[in-house]
Amino acid sequence: MIAKMSNKYCYGANTQHLCNLNQPFYIPDGSNSNWTGDPINYTTNSWGFRSEEFYGEDRNSIIFLGCSHTFGIGLPVHNIWCHLVAEEMGLPYYNLAVGAGSLDSAFRVLDEWLPVMKSKHVFLQIPNNRREIIDPNGNSINVLPTKSSKWDILLLNDYEINRTKNLLAMRQICSTYGSKFTCLDSENFFDGGPIPHEKARDGLHYGPSQHRHFAKIILDI
């Protein structure tokens, strides 16, 4: 029997320090950003997720999975698509997105936390591509791009097979706990809203218009 290592932290086991972002994150205004004024604050819980604390079973709740777009880099919490969806549905939610994460990391955190929370809904924003990191000790983890220089990036050629396996596995986990599983590719952010190419505060990630557009698609489903 293979012993299972605890992977409940946002960026893998025992790496809570990598996602301790409890401070203002200042980004200079640029020509491609309409954001000015106050900085964005990233507040993470004790497990490193940009979410409320997890206190155990919460069947009438939603789990959100994804990469930095769902984590909400460059956006206040109230602009992120998962907040908009949960607000419209009138349900509490937990944002389990991993910045720079992949489908592997989405599977990892769902496998750890859905058996605890047993949430009613699970929504997944499928990351654009696979981003896995191998550290010097051979542990597979995900970190923010600014941290990745410390590790060797692992690139695999079987992404489509890996994608299919992860999605099937997540559907099965949700079925086991009676959770409804809904997922969308990141491409569904594109050309959303009255400002189709609006950027987030960092000038790189999707802006509020795209998040409203993505949330509407999810809610329509």
- Give the separation between CA 4 and CA 43, rounded to whole angstroms: 29
**Can you give the pLDDT at residue 202?**
81
Residue range 182-194, pLDDT digits in tens: 999 988 987 665 6
Find out whether 204 and 198 touch, Cβ atoms under 8 Å: no
Cα dihedral value 110, 171, 115, 59, nearest 10? 100
Find out whether 56 and 116 touch, Cβ atoms under 8 Å: yes
**Can you give the pLDDT at residue 119?**
98
For tokens 């990036």, the residue is 153
Which is nearest to 102 in space by CA: 69, 64, 131, 135?
131
**Can you give the pLDDT at residue 71?**
94
The b-or-e profile of 131-154 (16+ CB within 10 A means b, else e) is bbbeeeeeeebbbbeebeeebeee
Q: Which residues is 25 bridged to in the sheet?
A: 40
**Can you give the pLDDT at residue 112?**
95
Find out whether 211 and 84 touch, Cβ atoms under 8 Å: yes
Find out whether 110 and 173 touch, Cβ atoms under 8 Å: yes
The letter for the amino acid at 47 is W
The letter for the amino acid at 69 is H
Architecture of domain 60-220: 3-Layer(aba) Sandwich (3.40)
Please identify every stretch of the chain with a pLDDT value under 70, giving residue numbers as ranges.
Answer: 1-6, 13-34, 36-38, 129-158, 191-196
Lay out the sheet containing 132-134: strands in order across: 140-141, 132-134, 152-154
**Can you give the pLDDT at residue 31?**
43
What pTM was computed for the model?
Answer: 0.84
